[in-house]
């Protein structure tokens, strides 16, 4: 009786199974034909350019990923040289694919953080207990007395794919051994503290402040802020003061006796160096005796 039931079930099921098998095979054949008919031919040069790129998809070139940049640079060779992580070597490899000659693109741009204040140097109006993000904290007034300084929540550290930025005692530090100049950190900082500057040497002189407050106000809220005194300007025209803030014109950048004097005479020591071997990275927080 059981055998009869099995045979009866099989006799009624196999036509449906055979039909499904036929339909599956038919659909597979249709998809195979469609894939061949609709296949987009990829220029082999795009694949060669893509292979020459670091494939980090960091967006430093201005495109969403290396694949899009590879296609764009083939269509417009003037975009050559925009891969910061790859640097000169990658540009040379792409130029070889395109049968072009590439000249020296000049010094590599690297980020500098225009704030050197440690936690002890800063004045706080309240203890921030919101989302641990610079963007979120920046949306609130009076979290930190200086409305221009580093908030220290590390948005820049999280967007860096190379682990090149770290917040140490309230100060954002760049590890120039790891940094590729991808610009992600500069783009994410809500206060515009991070600037990409041309590193013409291993270490570069910077003004490590972004405050546009008057000197009197700056002194009351930060122990290491620029007070816009103009002493640096009197030494060399490489410096200028605008909106109570000293800045360096990197088009005129040249280290000499005058620039070193400007750094030494700065009353708040806000003129300093950044780079792979800059000793100033290890400067301790200011003390009450220093202010």
Judge whether 189 lies within some domain: yes
For residue 88, the enclosing domain spans: 44-97
Judge whether 198 lies within some domain: yes
Q: Give yes or no: residues 153 and 208 share one domain.
A: yes
Number of domains in the chain: 2
Q: Give yes or no: residues 144 and 71 share one domain.
A: no
Tokens 């909106």 belong to 243
Q: What is the pLDDT of residues 49-93, one digit of tens each?
A: 888 888 888 877 888 888 888 888 888 888 888 888 887 888 888
Percent of the chain's residues with pLDDT above 90 = 51
CB neighbours (10 Å) of residue 24? Answer: 10
- List the beta bridge partners of residue 246: 241
288 has pLDDT over 70:
no
Which of 1-5, 16-20, 45-49 has the largest mean confidence?
A: 45-49
The DSSP annotation for 52-81 comes to: HS------TTSSSSHHHHHHHHHH-GGGTT
Judge whether 220 lies within some domain: yes
What pLDDT does residue 282 have? 41
Lowest mean pLDDT among 135-144, 207-216, 233-242, 248-257: 135-144
pLDDT confidence bin for 242, thresholds 50/70/90: very high
Judge whether 92 lies within some domain: yes
Q: Give yes or no: residues 157 and 271 share one domain.
A: yes
Tokens 């590890």 belong to 175
Mean pLDDT value across the chain: 84
pLDDT confidence bin for 98, thresholds 50/70/90: confident
Higher per-residue confidence, 279 vs 204: 204
Q: Give yes or no: residues 147 and 200 share one domain.
A: yes
Q: Give yes or no: residues 219 and 156 share one domain.
A: yes
Percent of the chain's residues with pLDDT above 70 = 81
**Angle formed at CA 288 by CA 287 and CA 291, multiple of 5 degrees:** 95
Q: Among 97, 132, 165, where does a domain finish? A: 97
Q: How far apart are CA 134 and CA 180, in angstroms?
A: 23
Q: Give yes or no: residues 151 and 276 share one domain.
A: yes
CATH number where 137 lies: 3.30.70.20
95 has pLDDT over 90:
no
What pLDDT does residue 291 have? 35
Q: Give yes or no: residues 64 and 124 share one domain.
A: no
Judge whether 103 lies within some domain: no
Q: Give yes or no: residues 113 and 79 share one domain.
A: no
2 has pLDDT over 90:
no
Judge whether 14 lies within some domain: no
What pLDDT does residue 17 have? 59
Q: Give yes or no: residues 150 and 177 share one domain.
A: yes
Q: Among 97, 125, 140, where does a domain finish? A: 97
CATH number where 66 lies: 1.10.15
Give Cα separations from 39 to 42, 43, 195 (angstroms).
9, 13, 44
What pLDDT does residue 55 have? 84
Q: Give yes or no: residues 48 and 188 share one domain.
A: no
Higher per-residue confidence, 25 vs 16: 25
What pLDDT does residue 252 have? 93
Q: Give yes or no: residues 50 and 126 share one domain.
A: no
Q: How far apart are CA 219 and CA 201, in angstroms?
A: 32
pTM of the model: 0.74
256 has pLDDT over 50:
yes
What pLDDT does residue 279 have? 63
First to last CA, the chain: 102
What pLDDT does residue 121 have? 93
Judge whether 104 lies within some domain: no
165 has pLDDT over 70:
yes
What pLDDT does residue 9 have? 52
Q: Give yes or no: residues 117 and 92 share one domain.
A: no
């Amino acid at each position: 009786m059981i055998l009869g039931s099995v045979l009866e079930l099989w006799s009624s099921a196999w036509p449906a199974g055979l039909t499904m098998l036929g339909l599956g095979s038919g659909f597979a054949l249709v998809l195979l034909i469609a894939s061949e008919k609709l296949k987009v031919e990829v220029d082999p040069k795009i694949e060669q350019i893509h292979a020459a790129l670091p494939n980090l998809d960091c967006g430093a070139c201005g495109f969403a990923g290396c694949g899009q940049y590879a296609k764009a640079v083939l269509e417009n060779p003037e975009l050559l040289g925009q891969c910061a992580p790859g640097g000169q070597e990658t540009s040379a490899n792409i130029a070889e694919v395109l049968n072009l000659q590439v000249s020296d693109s000049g010094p590599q741009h690297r980020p500098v953080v225009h704030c050197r204040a440690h936690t002890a140097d800063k004045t706080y109006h309240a203890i921030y207990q919101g989302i641990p993000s610079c963007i979120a904290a920046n949306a609130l007034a009076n979290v930190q007395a200086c409305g221009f300084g580093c908030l220290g929540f590390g948005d820049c550290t999280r967007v860096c794919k190379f682990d090149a930025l770290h917040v140490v005692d309230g100060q954002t530090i760049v590890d120039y051994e790891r940094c590729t100049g991808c610009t992600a950190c500069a783009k994410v900082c809500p206060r515009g503290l991070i600037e990409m500057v041309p590193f013409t040497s291993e270490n570069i002189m910077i003004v490590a402040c972004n405050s546009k407050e008057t000197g009197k106000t700056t002194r009351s809220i930060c122990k290491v802020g620029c007070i816009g005194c103009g002493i640096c300007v009197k030494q060399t025209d490489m410096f200028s003061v605008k909106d109570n803030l000293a800045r360096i014109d990197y088009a005129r950048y040249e280290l000499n006796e005058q620039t070193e004097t400007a750094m030494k005479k700065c009353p708040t020591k806000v003129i300093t160096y950044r780079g792979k071997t800059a000793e100033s990275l290890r400067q301790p927080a200011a003390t009450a005796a220093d202010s």
